[in-house]
Chains A and B, each alone.
Chain A
Amino acid sequence: MSDADDVRRQVEAFLETHDPAATDPLEFLRARYDAGLAWVAFPAGHGGQGLPQALQPEVDRLFAEAGAPSNRPETNGIGLGMAAPTILGFGTPAQKERFLRPLWTGEEIWCQLFSEPGAGSDLANVATRAVRDGDGWVVNGQKVWTSGAHNARFAILLARTDPDQVKHGGLTYFLCDMTDPGVDVRPLRQITGEAEFNEVFLTDVRIPDGQRLGDEGQGWRVANATLNNERVAIGGKAAARESGMIGVVADTWRRHPERRTPELHDRLLRLWVDAEVARQTGLRLSQKLAQGQPGPEGAGMKLSFARIAQELSGLELEILGEEGLRYESGQGWTMVRPERVDFTGRDAGFRYLRAKGNSIEGGTSEIIRNIVAERVLGLPAEHRTDKDRPWKELER
């Protein structure tokens, strides 16, 4: 029996003993996790059974068709896409046991405390300090551009534990409880009017040493594992044609025959082709990843995604013309705190403004181009003066 048949049978058997209509949603999700049918590529005992990642969509589809409760992955992207694989890779048995199940079920939402006012593209320049104090750590500093911090129970945190080391060497990675009294989450209002992001002030936050992920001083390595997972999460997806921004703008085109001009038509078709080629590239990448052959397309996918989303959302406003001048759907410019990140929701004006973040978040397009040029093409790295001296001596 193939893995696919076997897992299909397991789902059927699970559904027989756990009727989605008659089971409490949280109990259902916990039981699904304990049965190894949550993220099937994870190891046994942690919500999976070490199966190929390629089987996951089929498992999710079977549960969705049966009307099973969802763990609402759209509300916990950082937890599922970044924190979980990093905890799996670097966590102690106790950390995996404590954190992974409530993360997957959605009981505990996660956010990411990486970027700082002085550590954006140069993430290794993190200045938030963690000082050892007995059996724990005391953390002070300021983090920024923290999506969803206002909904999060835990955070993955990068902090400096040894300023005498070189900048990449003195960092340590922690799991931070966002309910600690020293954590102050303040909305950071964006160009859309919303506050999807936050700035987070950490004042004498106490973190037990049991919530250190990886060794002291190993933080850069652990953080890179997180960032690689982020890029895989963005790039390696098999999506249907006209998914995402192109679908929204194509629908706008179809709904507004009176707004069509040859110039807009030409731009739309060029972007439709670009979006379809990006989709095909993602499909090929997802097949390579499923075979364990990551390709160079991952970083490039993010570049393409950002450019296409930005050009499409700008085009949509022009297609709409007069209507594009009005920013009134939903709450207008009134500040709200959204529960989830939404690239294609609300109206065209929101989409245009939100898409500007696509070439900044998760690595700016300029940094991604450096990565492609240096790691894929093997071109020389930038000249740097900050790599070999203790962090505390660097100009900032």
Chain B
Amino acid sequence: MSELDLLHTDVEDDLRASVRDLLTDHCDPTAVAGLYDGDRSPVAPLWKALAADLGLAGLLVPEAHGGAGASAREAAVVLEELGRAVAPVPFLTSAVVATSLLCEAGSGLLPALAAGETTAALVVPLSAGPDGPLPTFSVDADGRVSGTVTSVAGALEADVLLALVSGDDGLAVYVVPAASAGLVPVVSLDMTRQLADVTLDAVAGERVVTDAEPAVRRALETGAALLASEQVGVARWCLEATVAHLKERRQFGRVVGGFQALKHRLADLSTGVESAASAAWYAAATLAAGDPDTPVAARVAQAYCSDLAVLAGEEAVQLHGGIGMTWEHPTHLYLKKAKADQIALGTPGAHRGRLAALVDLEA
């Protein structure tokens, strides 16, 4: 096993800069806060700008299928920026999880996905991780799919849904048009990744993957590994915003960032954020290299970054003081995302549980 390259390339730095520029111009915190009051109008244009205009939807799609043929490293860079801006776009659900699954099938949907013309979602609860139970639909003799799965992320933005169907020959993936599904939006803890309950009532679908369980679990593992980068982005924003605030806020006649009680908490948080960045980037690098360490790296990254991002959100609220508790200040957007992300794609405890088996530390 050759040593993984853990440094960022110039290409990756350029990608980060262009995503950040676009989000600075088109993803303003006030608009994001508006999502919680029911205004989802910023979602579609922002996603079009990122997916189609900047070409991010096709990052993980091979060039032969019309994509960029990039790797998990580029996807990780994008996710870190999306986390940093609490951007309400279905990149993780469509361009990472659903796309990874369809890439394994060599699906005909890939060119449209890569072009950002079609958006897809795997119909599982956002909380479903690579090692947990997978809810399924049933299928009749004519190939019509029925059932309900709750708390699905990315379904509201999707054109096509990937439904898991269990049959006599194991798990299969069916593609169904989102328009023929019953979608009930859910008031969600994180409205930047709003959930929906998905009901299919004898919907005709196309079976695209058979014997699909390993492929589905790999796609969820990829999602979990890369979610860590989004969590790093969330945590970085929380750290930087809090440091900036404490350099300006004055009480007792001095800048409060000079008080050691606060400095030491921020020093610990900073150390944690750098550690999380290492874990998330290591996981992305193993995925990109097809390294056999990927299953361990993905779970290490999730176990660490999930809790660290929540800590960063909680510290940001506390250290901002009163204003951190307000609707007006953007910190709450990050806390909500951090807490939802902690549960998404498997809890830290679930990832540690799987890790125990992977590294020979059984209970």
Contacts and interface: CB of A to CB of B under 8 A. Distances in A.
Contacts of B361: 250, 253-254, 265, 268-269, 272
Interface in B263-286: 263-264, 266-268, 270-271, 274-276, 278-279, 281-282
Given A284-B281, A370-B263, A370-B267, A291 B304 contact: no
Interface string A238-273: 100000000000100110000010100110111011
Interface in A258-299: 260, 262, 265-266, 268-270, 272-274, 276-278, 280-281, 283-284, 287-288, 291, 293, 295-297, 299
Contact of A372 (B270, B275, B278, B304): B270
B258 to A, nearest CB: 4
Contact of B247 (A260, A283, A284, A379): A379
Interface stretch (A90-98, A151-159, A328-336, A380-388): A380-388
Chain B interface residue count: which class?
A: 35 or more
Contact of A382 (B260, B268, B303, B349): B260
B205 to A, nearest CB: 39
B360 interface: yes
Given A277-B304, A383-B258, A284 B6 contact: yes
A280 B281 CA distance: 9
A66 B296 CA distance: 34
Interface SS of chain B: helix
A191 interface: no
B266 A269 contact: no
Given A254-B361, A277-B279, A287-B7, A272 B266 contact: no
A300 interface: yes
A248 to B, nearest CB: 13
B275 A265 contact: no
Nearest to B278: A281
B303 A373 contact: no
A273 B270 contact: no
Interface SS of chain A: helix
Interface string B336-363: 0000000000000100110110011101
A283 B282 contact: yes
A270 B243 contact: no
Contacts of A283: 3-4, 6, 278, 282
Interface pairs A-B: 7 shortest CB-CB: A300-B271, A380-B258, A373-B263, A372-B267, A369-B267, A281-B278, A284-B6
30 contacts: A253-B361, A254-B360, A265-B356, A269-B303, A269-B352, A270-B303, A270-B352, A272-B355, A273-B300, A273-B352, A274-B304, A277-B278, A280-B300, A283-B6, A287-B5, A288-B7, A291-B7, A296-B270, A297-B275, A299-B271, A300-B274, A303-B267, A304-B271, A369-B263, A369-B264, A370-B263, A377-B243, A379-B243, A380-B255, A382-B258
Interface of B: 3-7, 243, 246-247, 254-255, 257-258, 260, 263-264, 266-268, 270-271, 274-276, 278-279, 281-282, 296, 300, 303-304, 349, 352-353, 355-356, 359-361, 363
